[in-house]
Structure 1
């Protein structure tokens, strides 16, 4: 009887583990330049949940990466970009609401992060739909010192983040100004290819770059968790 109870307990534990939700939600962005997979940060739940909501609705499908600046970032998510005329100015479309800023000292503008675009509102609330992905560039300590004194208003960049900016790169002058809420975990080369396209004087690609955004399934998210955090 004891052995039977032990076997039953093991079976129940196995089923419980199978039913357990993944630790993170991942999304796939597909374009003619390839695809990337992004992990949405749990530390920014308002931005995470909003992006999931819009993705479930298919909101982003057919929108363009409408603003592209090499060594800086690629921006998309403007609903007005769907079926936009060639050369039309884009970047003002929205969904009628904003998201409160979710700044976190551990989340910074390293290469590959997903962050929320916004206008110049005083509380730095994010656009409800527009986002950008950082391509970035590498910075020297001298340049980082200058940014601290000028753009960051005296904020001291932690040494471990400086190490990222020196070796991998990013856009440190955006820290504590725009909410970072995810990062590319596979397919960063797609960002580089899009960032290298030819653009007009408004930084819109001369040839449209539409996207498709989908949520990875629970099974796929578990697989990604296991791949990134095997222990």
Structure 2
């Protein structure tokens, strides 16, 4: 049932707009449940500790659309961090989040501080285009989304950031989204050497990779299925640097 729900949700979620080679509106047809057999004891222990933290959470939602802008505006003032580290088995990717996209920056910091990205994947890899993260077929991901809330982030195109190589951008829903508002949970990194400028003013760029593009390039080479879902799950975690 979880996998069926994920596929239905994936059809609604535009993972990064139209690539000329493939459409992001199509959901991955199949996924391969592969656990990290070579995980260290420290990694397993870390996950167990975070599971204990999750048990104490209220049922949510933490955020509702009607209160989103004032909440994220205040949250951004109280949480000014703007550098994060994405941890994968391929290495780390460090990202600077832009202060002139304040709602997107505050939302991402909120997700990190609520451990949203634990047990999520880079679930879409389109070599020569983008890699996308922030989703999974684990039941825990849906539970965390329910806890955080069902909302959309208004686009912040006025900042003028473009989809150059290394751009850190927000996914969006494909259906009934005239305002081009962002999904709060999924992001993508532009891997193309020439950028992905057809996405400008379609998705909000709210950060840039400042270290680890070699890791992005390495991830882009993994084997994927017909839906561009990696055959071996690429787990990620995110931590705040400063």
What is the rounded CA distance, in whole Å, between the counterparts of 1:132 and 1:186 in structure 2?
A: 15
Q: Which residue of 2 aligns with 1:43?
A: 100
Cα 1:24/1:215, change in 2 over 3 Å: closer
Q: CA RMSD in A?
A: 2.4
Alpha-carbon offset, residue 106 of structure 1: 3.2
CA distance in structure 2 between the partners assigned to 1:57 and 1:193 by the alignment: 28
Could you tell me which residue of structure 1 aligns to residue 206 of structure 2? 181
Task: Work out whether 1:197 is the aligned partner of 2:222.
Answer: yes
8 Å CA contact 2:79, 2:109 repeated in 1: no
Aligned in 2, Cα 1:129/1:23: closer, same or farther, shift over 3 Å? Answer: closer
**TM-score normalized by the length of structure 1:** 0.64
**Paired residue for 2:8?**
none
Structure 1: 5+ residue stretches without partners: 1-20, 85-92, 138-168, 222-231
Taking a change above 3 Å as real, the CA distance of residues 56 and 105 of structure 1, as seen in their structure-2 partners, is: closer
Distance apart, 1:81 and its partner CA: 3.1
2:81 and 2:109 in contact (8 A); partners too: no
Is 2:170–2:203's contact at 8 Å kept on the other side of the alignment?
yes
* CA positional deviation for 1:24: 5.9
1:64–1:82 CA contact under 8 A, matched in 2: no
User: Please, which of 208, 212, 216 is the counterpart of residue 237 of structure 2?
Assistant: 212
How much has 1:104 moved relative to structure 2? 3.0
Q: Which runs of 5+ in 2 are unaligned?
A: 1-77
Cα distance in 1 for residues equivalent to 2:93 and 2:137: 21
CA displacement 1:119-170 (0-9 Å, x = unmatched): 1211100001111111013xxxxxxxxxxxxxxxxxxxxxxxxxxxxxxx21
Q: TM-score, normalised by structure 2?
A: 0.61
Q: Aligned to 2:138, which of 78, 82, 106? A: 82
